Structure 1
Amino acid sequence: MFPKLAAATAVAVAATTALAAAKCKTPDQCTGTTVPSQIRLAYAGDKGVAVSWNTGSKLTNPTVYFGKDKKLNRIAQSQVSTTYATSSTYNNHVVIDGLEADTTYYYKPNCGSETYTFTTSRRAGDDTPFSFAMIGDMGTFGPDGLGTTVGKGGANPLKPGDLTTIQSLSSFKDKYDFIWHGKSPRFGDIAYADSWLKEEKAGYITPLNTTDRGAVYDRILNEFYDEVEELSKTKPYMVGPGNHEANCDNGSDLSLCLPGQLNFTGYRHHWNMPSTPSGGVENFWYSFDHGMVHFVMLNTETDFPNAPDEPNGEGAENAGPFAPSGAQLAWLKKDLASVDRKKTPWVVAAGHRPWYVSTSACTECRAAFEPILLEHGVDLVLHGHKHFYERHAAVANGVAQEITANPTAPWYVVNGAAGHYDGLDVPTTPYVSTSREVIVAYGWNLFTVHNCTHLSTSFISSSNNTVLDTATLIKDRKCHGGKGEDGKGNH
């Protein structure tokens, strides 16, 4: 457990003030080791944004300059700058609070040379249509990950000229509000740095070296975060835990794994999800509102009965728990019970491991989560973990309901096809009875919330940006139009 990190993350809300305010702490002096990299954003409640970045040295006062124009006449600070064994960098987190909804701001971390923009979350109840991107199981691309060649044990290399999923998402960046990497927005299995041992044994990267104190693992992580910065510096990048965040090389040869590669260590330090404003725990489970939708991130790895990544689970990860027994499910029940369906008629949940899928399913996850999701009328459930795309019907206790016929059960979509070194999976045939479409190709989903009755998705091929599948969920309900509580964007 990381009590210091947990506490620091919980209080990472920094007050905003004028740049010239007398109480403003002096920002860290700029040196070669304080230059920001791996810049990333996340929503932080309905009026906040978390800005995170890495540096080569610890910062005393991580600082962000921001404003509605490039003058950047406001400032936010924190004291959250953390690292861990095997990491070559420090993770810095600042939460900017008290912002206006659906508003674009300019910002720059201290010692940065460029100014970027972010747009705050849409106010709950805003009925303007919007889209979000969903990816799962995306690793590093290039020489240390998925490329045009693979080593022994790898599969499905990219063809010359193929776009990567990051490149495909970049070309659509004006089409969506945020990315959910957590079934990965998004959800789980981030970077696949834990595959370093597998890739070395296969002769794909540096010859096998088990005495480098985690240098290759750290290198692959940093390469991934550098690659994804093209997206995360301007779009909120919401994540959830997957099994590869818990372990080293997916549980094999654990004697070679260092502490910094186990127990979600890198994941817990790197990200800053809105657990505090939503009553969740660290980056493991949380929720947030955005326009017509209440989004919920589940932790399918730990903190529920027979969780697969905990000691005595199906894996060898020995991770967690991260809260008292029963805390996650109690939080989920309370969170869903508090949703105002007039303001956010749609409820979308995500968790890494699927329980409706045409291969091995997480039965423990289904037992824990499905009754709660059914009780509270969740509309859509997103999963990853399996490295292909499978669109299901809406499902209640194994019984399918068609998504165009006002289903009372959640619609399930599995997509772990963003791409990484191991390649794609082949689902089991015959497909399960709830399956409606299966595609074995690298890709991601663009979801569009049209109004309170129609929510659609397109599965987009990463290689060439073509749409390979589309579907629309239709609900029979009355819409309560407006931009906010009073219909004018005001509370």
Structure 2
Amino acid sequence: MTAIMSTMRAATVVAFAATAVAAPPAHSALCNAKTAPIQIRLAYAGDHGMAVSWNTNEQLANPTVYFGKDSRKLNRFASSQVSTTYPTSATWNNHVVIKGLEPDTTYYYQPQCGNQTYTFKTPRPAGEHVEFNFAMVGDMGTFGPDGLSTTVGKGASNPLLPGQLTTIQSLTDFQNSYEFIWHVGDLAYADAWLKEETSGYVTPLNETDGGAEYDKILNDFYGEIEVLSSTRPYMVAAGNHEANCDNGSNLDICPPGQLNFTGYRAHWNMPSAESGGVENFWYSFDYGPVHFVTFNTETDYPNAADEPGGEGDEDAGPFAPSGTQIAWLKKDLASVDRKKTPWVVAAGHRPWYVSTTKCVECQAAFEPILYQYGVDLVLSGHKHFYERHAAVWNGTAEEINADPTYPWYIVNGAGGHYDGLDTPATPYVSTSRKVISAYGWSLFTVHNSTHLTTQFVASGNNTVLDTATLVKKRKY
């Protein structure tokens, strides 16, 4: 790890010390164009907290968020000392965690030097068995001139059709229909810059541009999702396209700051401190009747995909001593109170039940644990299509409408990015129940302690192309 990233880790601890107090100080005299907040994003921070992150064009001495229950009276504030950058980044990442909030409550907030007030809603407390929805998306990158659009470069495919909505636009249309978004890996696809240049899609800058095109795409993405991430917690998992700048080409052209998940580590503030996890790689949180778990399929398990010698060969990680993630996952799942949170939903980027190349190493590391502790639903992306499976353990399937004892598996990496969609192999694997090759995202409804429904929403026209309900017989 570099000294810069070590500093980022230490600074993150300070962020969690932020507390809410009254009477914010005057701050307008400190504001200018470079301190104006951009790329605002939220994340849950325990039952009574919310992490607010944003970027600026210069470092802030004490990033501050003003908030309150009345949009006309932001009479409380929280601050931190976390304003970090890294080589090749044009911006600074600011993180503040607001603590002591009331559950299931709407707050109004404004990052310092902002001129717009936003809202967030804290999570329902664990054990509150009330119906709610959440959105899931995978493998969604930048849209427009630096990403997926109605044109493609040489060798690419699946452009958007004229008049077709992007997944960000579709999620925005449905924004009042879900509580939070779970992006299960592969964000921004800034590492597609090389492919886009060599295919003639963007004006070539050459391989010695100092990382400018990569950073441009990254900032475009965070700007595009702000319409979502500023009002809904945007929870993330690490994917292989966060690892390095060269899209796995191993050309050794990535400058410092564009290696080993640097941008991913800097931009997000997931609730690892609250759940005993590690950075933005593995963590958990509760929401009403559900315990949500994010695990890391890229590094930090035996024969990990993105570690040296792994399937992805990105020479990334590790981020903790050997065995740490596996031990944490077992401990986290063993501690779940199923009377409070009868549902357990887990997500990691790479799938092992899928009608194309599967992650064998992921399966060996994670499937036994997820089965042992009774995880109900496992979500993944990585493959650029939608595939709903049966409930499965060790290759044996159970149908989801008959009280399965195995985890239910869904793959959705169809969010949309420059590379386009994948074509699954036929015949589909025996556990497969529905395959869709279209850009889209998933809407989940947790009805009660026994019924959970998924819908695949085609982004292009907001139509629902698949619906299925998991039924569990519970006494609580």
Tell me the residue number matched to 2:148. 146
CA contact (8 A) 2:172 2:227 kept: yes
Post-superposition offset of 1:249 = 2.9
> Of residues 9, 12, 17 in structure 1, which corresponds to 2:15?
12
Tell me the residue number matched to 2:172. 170
CA contact (8 A) 2:28 2:113 kept: no
Q: Does 1:74 align with 2:84?
A: no
> Of residues 3, 15, 20 in structure 1, which corresponds to 2:6?
3
Tell me the residue number matched to 1:484. none
**Mean Cα displacement is larger for which, 133-142 or 312-321?**
312-321
Tell me the residue number matched to 2:40. 39
TM-superposition CA deviations, 1:323-342 (whole Å, max 9, x none): 01000000000000000000
Q: Does 1:401 align with 2:405?
A: no
**Mean Cα displacement is larger for which, 250-259 or 449-458?**
250-259
Tell me the residue number matched to 1:385. 382
Post-superposition offset of 1:253 = 4.4
Tell me the residue number matched to 1:489. none
> Of residues 445, 450, 454 in structure 2, which corresponds to 1:453?
450
Tell me the residue number matched to 2:114. 112
Post-superposition offset of 1:251 = 1.3
- SS, match of residue 373 in structure 1: helix
CA contact (8 A) 1:153 1:422 kept: no
Post-superposition offset of 1:264 = 0.2
> In the alignment, residue 445 of structure 2 is paired with which amino acid?
T
CA contact (8 A) 2:387 2:435 kept: yes
Post-superposition offset of 1:31 = 1.3
CA contact (8 A) 1:28 1:60 kept: no
Between the aligned partners of 2:94 and 2:412, the Cα distance in structure 1 is: 30
Between the aligned partners of 2:422 and 2:245, the Cα distance in structure 1 is: 20
Post-superposition offset of 1:261 = 1.5
Q: Give the RMSD, CA atoms, in angstroms.
A: 1.1
Q: Does 1:221 align with 2:222?
A: no
Unaligned runs of 5+ in 1: 182-186, 480-491
TM-superposition CA deviations, 1:80-122 (whole Å, max 9, x none): 0010111000000000000000100000000000001000011
Q: Does 1:179 align with 2:181?
A: yes
TM-superposition CA deviations, 1:125-178 (whole Å, max 9, x none): 111100000000000000110000000121100000000000000000000000
Q: Where in structure 2 are the equivalents of 1:183-332 lying within 5 Å?
A: 187-332=184-329
CA contact (8 A) 2:164 2:460 kept: yes
CA contact (8 A) 1:65 1:108 kept: yes
Unaligned runs of 5+ in 2: none
Post-superposition offset of 1:302 = 0.3
Tell me the residue number matched to 2:86. 84
Q: Does 1:426 align with 2:423?
A: yes
Q: Percent identity?
A: 73
Between the aligned partners of 1:330 and 1:228, the Cα distance in structure 2 is: 34
TM-superposition CA deviations, 1:229-251 (whole Å, max 9, x none): 00000000000100000122321
Between the aligned partners of 1:401 and 1:467, the Cα distance in structure 2 is: 24
Between the aligned partners of 1:253 and 1:449, the Cα distance in structure 2 is: 43
* Shift in CA distance, 287/430, structure 1 to aligned 2, threshold 3 Å: same
**Mean Cα displacement is larger for which, 201-210 or 360-369?**
201-210
TM-superposition CA deviations, 1:270-321 (whole Å, max 9, x none): 0000000000000000000001100000000000000010112122311110
Between the aligned partners of 1:119 and 1:254, the Cα distance in structure 2 is: 44
Post-superposition offset of 1:322 = 0.2
CA contact (8 A) 1:28 1:59 kept: no
CA contact (8 A) 1:27 1:62 kept: no
- SS, match of residue 328 in structure 1: helix
- SS, match of residue 277 in structure 1: helix
Normalising by structure 2, what TM-score?
0.98
Between the aligned partners of 1:60 and 1:472, the Cα distance in structure 2 is: 49
CA contact (8 A) 1:64 1:110 kept: yes
Between the aligned partners of 2:116 and 2:255, the Cα distance in structure 1 is: 36
Tell me the residue number matched to 1:376. 373
TM-superposition CA deviations, 1:429-468 (whole Å, max 9, x none): 1100000000000000000000000000000000000000
TM-superposition CA deviations, 1:350-377 (whole Å, max 9, x none): 0000010000000100000011111100
Post-superposition offset of 1:208 = 4.2
- SS, match of residue 188 in structure 2: coil
Count of matched residue positions in the alignment of Structure 1 and Structure 2: 471
Between the aligned partners of 2:352 and 2:259, the Cα distance in structure 1 is: 25
- SS, match of residue 230 in structure 1: helix
CA contact (8 A) 2:374 2:407 kept: yes
Between the aligned partners of 1:82 and 1:240, the Cα distance in structure 2 is: 21
Tell me the residue number matched to 1:103. 105
Post-superposition offset of 1:25 = 9.8
Between the aligned partners of 2:470 and 2:375, the Cα distance in structure 1 is: 12
TM-superposition CA deviations, 1:43-72 (whole Å, max 9, x none): 000100000000000001000000000210
Between the aligned partners of 1:410 and 1:254, the Cα distance in structure 2 is: 39
Post-superposition offset of 1:254 = 2.8
Post-superposition offset of 1:3 = 1.6
Between the aligned partners of 1:329 and 1:67, the Cα distance in structure 2 is: 39
> In the alignment, residue 146 of structure 1 is paired with which amino acid?
L
Normalising by structure 1, what TM-score?
0.95
Q: Where in structure 2 are the equivalents of 1:434-449 lying within 5 Å?
A: 434-449=431-446
